[in-house]
Amino acid sequence: MTDKPLIIILGDQLSHELSSLAAAPNAPVLMAELHDEASYVRHHQQKITLIFSAMRHFSKALKEQGRAVSYLTYGSDPAVSSFTDAAKMIIKRDGINRLIVTEPAEWRLLQEMQSWPETLGIAVEILPDTRFLATHQEFADWADGKKQLRMEFFYREMRRKTGLLMDGDNPLGGQWNYDADNRKKLPKGHEPPPRLQFAPDGVTQDVMQLVAQHFGNHVGLLDKFAWPVTAAQAAAQFEHWLEFCLPQFGDYQDAMKTGEAFLYHGLVGAAINIGLLDPLKVCQAAEARYHSGQAPLNAVEGFIRQILGWREFMRGLYWLKMPAYADSNYFDHHRALPDFYYSGETDMACMREAIGATRDYAYAHHIQRLMVTGNFALLAGIAPHDVNRWYLEVYADAFEWVQLPNTHGMALFADGGIVGSKPYSASGAYINRMSDHCSGCTYKVKEPHGDTACPFNYLYWDFMIRHRDKLGSNPRMGMVYRNLDKMPDEKRRGVESSAKKFLEQLK
C-alpha cells in the first residue's frame, strides 16, 4: 500500500519548527477552523479572531514554502465541526492512511486523537511538542518521590539545563531569584511607554466579520483588536518591548494602574502559546540585554523565571495531574460566578479595571488575574469550575494546560496545595499598596467592615474564619491566624456579618 501521510496542525501549533512538520517534510497539511474548538467554551471574540487570523497567515506561509495545505475556513464544510470530523473527511477524500500530529496541548484533545486508530481505523503518530523546554518525562522524573513540588526548585533545574543566566554551576549575580525586587508601586504621574500595536490587516478584517457574525454574543469587544497575527509581527512587538519596557519590567511587575492595562508586561503569552514566538529564543534575547548592559538583572531574571520557571512548571503539573486535577475542590466552594465578571458593572474599582481590560483587550496582567479577579473568586467562594471556565474564555493566551494550573491551583488553591504552598489571598491593603485604584473607589479600603468598607477586607477575614480547619495548621498561615486570634470580638462579628450580607446579594 502506498504511504499517504497527512499532518494535522492545530490552532496553537503555528511554528515552522513544529515536530510534525520536521518529521514529514513532504507530507500535506490539514488546518481547520472548527465550530467545536471555537465554542467548547465561549472564547473572547478577540481570541477567536487571533487564532483564525494567525492560522490563515500560517497556512499561507506554509504554501509559499511549497507545502500542500488543505485549509477549511469556518463553516465551509457543514459536516466538519471537530478534529475527528476533519480527519474523517480528509482520510476519505484524499485516501490518507497515516496521520501525523504534534501532541495537542490539551488533555481532552489528546484523548480524542489517541482514539483515532480505533474509531477511524487509521495509524496515528503523535509526536512530542519540542517547543517546550522540559519533556513530560523530565518533569515526571524531577517530581518523582518529592513530597511537595515547588516551582523554585524546578526553575533552578531548568536554569542548569538551558544555561540561562548561569555562571558555571552558579546563578549569575549570586541569587537564583530576584522576586523581592519585583514589587514596586508605580510613582504618581508615571507614564508607561506606548506599546507597538497592529492595525488589523485584510485577513484579520475578514475574520473579524466572521467572528462578529457567528460569535458576536461571546464576551469581548473587537474594535480594540491589536494582537500580532504573524511571527514577524510578534517578533517586532517583542523587540519593541525589549527596547522600551524590559529595563523596568522587574521593578513594576506587580504594579497596577488605572487606565493602563499593559504597563511593562511583555504581551507575549498569546504569541508564545500559539507558536508565533519561541520561548527559548525569547529568554535568550532577554538574557542578551543583560549581558549588553541594556537591562538590569532583576528585570531579566524576573522575565526568564516566568517563562522558564512558571510556564514550564504549570505545563509539567498539568500533564502529571490530569484529568483528576480539574475536579478537585479543596474548599468545597459552590457559589455561582457573579454576572459582573462579564459585564464589568461593579463598584469595586480594581475589579472594574481588571474586567474592563479583559473585555477590551482579552488581556489582564498577572497581578490583576491573581490578586484581583482570582483573589475575589477565592475569598467569595466561587465554584472552581465556573472560575476556570471564565479564565479559559476571556484571555487571548488561555489554553487549558496553562490556564488550569494557574486558576485552579495558584489563584483558587482548589488543588489543596499542589501549585502553591498557601493561598494567594489578600485584603484591600495589598491592592492599595500595589495600585492607585483604591483612591477612586466607592468603597473605603481603610474600613474593615460595614456597608462602605472594601469587600476584600471583610471577605478576607471571613474566608480565614470559614476555612480554619483547612488552613490553620499550615505553617505559612501562622501569622494570619495569630492576627485573627487577636481580633476583638466586635470586629470579628462585624467582618462576619458584612461578608454574609455581601455574599447573599452577590449575583
Interface residue list for ligand DLZ (CB under 6 A): 10-12, 32-34, 37-38, 43, 48, 51, 104-106, 109, 399
The CA-CA-CA angle for residues 205, 207, 210, to 5°, reads: 115
What is the spatial distance between Cα 285 and Cα 234, in angstroms, rounded to a whole number?
14
Q: Which is nearer to ligand FAD, 230 or 273 (CB)?
A: 273
- How many other CB atoms are found less than 10 A from the CB of residue 475? 8
Q: What's at 142, amino acid-wise?
A: W
Q: What's at 187, amino acid-wise?
A: P
218 binds ligand FAD (CB under 6 A): no
Query: Could you check whether the bond before residue 448 is cis, i.e. omega within 30 degrees of 0?
Result: no
> Residue 460: phi, psi to the nearest 5?
-60, -50
Q: Which is nearer to ligand FAD, 370 or 499 (CB)?
A: 370
Within 389-408, which residues bind ligand FAD (CB under 6 A)?
Answer: 391, 395, 397-398, 402-403, 406-407
Minimum distance, C-beta of residue 52 to ligand DLZ, in the bound complex (Å)? 7
Q: Which is nearer to ligand FAD, 370 or 477 (CB)?
A: 370
Q: Which partner in ligand FAD, ligand DLZ, none is near 43 (CB below 5 to 8 A by kind)?
A: ligand DLZ
Burial of 100 (0-12, 13-18, 19+ CB in 10 A): buried
Q: Which is nearer to ligand FAD, 186 or 370 (CB)?
A: 370
Q: Which partner in ligand DLZ, ligand FAD, none is near 37 (CB below 5 to 8 A by kind)?
A: ligand DLZ
* Contact between 383 and 334 (Cβ < 8 Å): yes
Q: Which is nearer to ligand DLZ, 48 or 464 (CB)?
A: 48
Q: Count the residues of the shown chain that bind ligand FAD, applying the rule CB under 6 A.
A: 28
Q: Which is nearer to ligand FAD, 84 or 306 (CB)?
A: 306
The stretch among 41-49, 138-146, 362-370, 414-422 that binds ligand FAD (CB under 6 A) is: 362-370
Within 247-286, which residues bind ligand FAD (CB under 6 A)?
Answer: 265-269, 272-273
Which residues lie below 8 Å from residue 131, measured CB to CB, with a gap of 6+?
Answer: 15, 17, 18, 275, 278, 279
Q: Which is nearer to ligand DLZ, 10 or 431 (CB)?
A: 10
Within 409-438, which residues bind ligand FAD (CB under 6 A)?
Answer: 410-411
β strands within 165-212, DSSP E: 166-167, 170-171
Q: Which is nearer to ligand DLZ, 303 or 401 (CB)?
A: 401
Minimum distance, C-beta of residue 165 to ligand DLZ, in the bound complex (Å)? 29
Q: Which is nearer to ligand DLZ, 53 or 233 (CB)?
A: 53
Minimum distance, C-beta of residue 37 to ligand DLZ, in the bound complex (Å)? 3
Q: Which is nearer to ligand DLZ, 43 or 265 (CB)?
A: 43
365 binds ligand FAD (CB under 6 A): yes
Minimum distance, C-beta of residue 51 to ligand DLZ, in the bound complex (Å)? 5
CA distances to 372, 420, 470 from 416, in Å: 20, 8, 9
Name the grid cell of 368: 490583576
Q: Which is nearer to ligand DLZ, 90 or 382 (CB)?
A: 90
Q: Closest by alpha carbon to 83, among 51, 58, 115, 56?
A: 115
302 binds ligand FAD (CB under 6 A): no
What is the spatial distance between Cα 187 and Cα 98, in angstroms, rounded to a whole number?
59
Minimum distance, C-beta of residue 14 to ligand DLZ, in the bound complex (Å)? 10
Minimum distance, C-beta of residue 255 to ligand FAD, in the bound complex (Å)? 11
Write the DSSP assignment of 27-96 as a string of letters.
--EEEE--HHHHHTTT--HHHHHHHHHHHHHHHHHHHHTT--EEEE-TTSSTT--SHHHHHHHHHHHHT-
Minimum distance, C-beta of residue 424 to ligand FAD, in the bound complex (Å)? 8
Q: Which partner in ligand DLZ, ligand FAD, none is near 374 (CB below 5 to 8 A by kind)?
A: ligand FAD
Q: Closest by alpha carbon to 138, among 281, 130, 305, 400?
A: 130
Instruction: Annotate each residue in 305-324 with x if it binds ligand FAD (CB under 6 A) or - if it does not, as one string.
Output: -xx--xx--x----------
Name the grid cell of 74: 469556518
Question: With b meaning 16 or more CB within 10 Å and e meaning fewer, what string describes 68-84?
Answer: ebbbbebeeeeebbbbb
Minimum distance, C-beta of residue 12 to ligand DLZ, in the bound complex (Å)? 4
Q: Which partner in ligand DLZ, ligand FAD, none is near 407 (CB below 5 to 8 A by kind)?
A: ligand FAD
Q: Which partner in ligand DLZ, ligand FAD, none is near 265 (CB below 5 to 8 A by kind)?
A: ligand FAD
Q: Which partner in ligand FAD, ligand DLZ, none is near 109 (CB below 5 to 8 A by kind)?
A: ligand DLZ
DSSP 8-state code for residue 382: B
Write the DSSP assignment of 145-210 as a string of letters.
T-SS--HHHHHHHHHHHH-TTEETTEEGGG-S--GGGS-PPPPTT--PPP-------HHHHHHHHH
Helix H or strand E encompassing 385: helix 384-394
Minimum distance, C-beta of residue 43 to ligand DLZ, in the bound complex (Å)? 5
What is the spatial distance between Cα 369 and Cα 354, in angstroms, rounded to a whole number?
8
Give residue 204's Cα distance to chain centre.
23
- How many other CB atoms are found less than 10 A from the CB of residue 426? 18
- Which residues would be at the binding site for ligand FAD (CB under 6 A)? 265-269, 272-273, 303, 306-307, 310-311, 314, 365-366, 369-370, 374, 391, 395, 397-398, 402-403, 406-407, 410-411
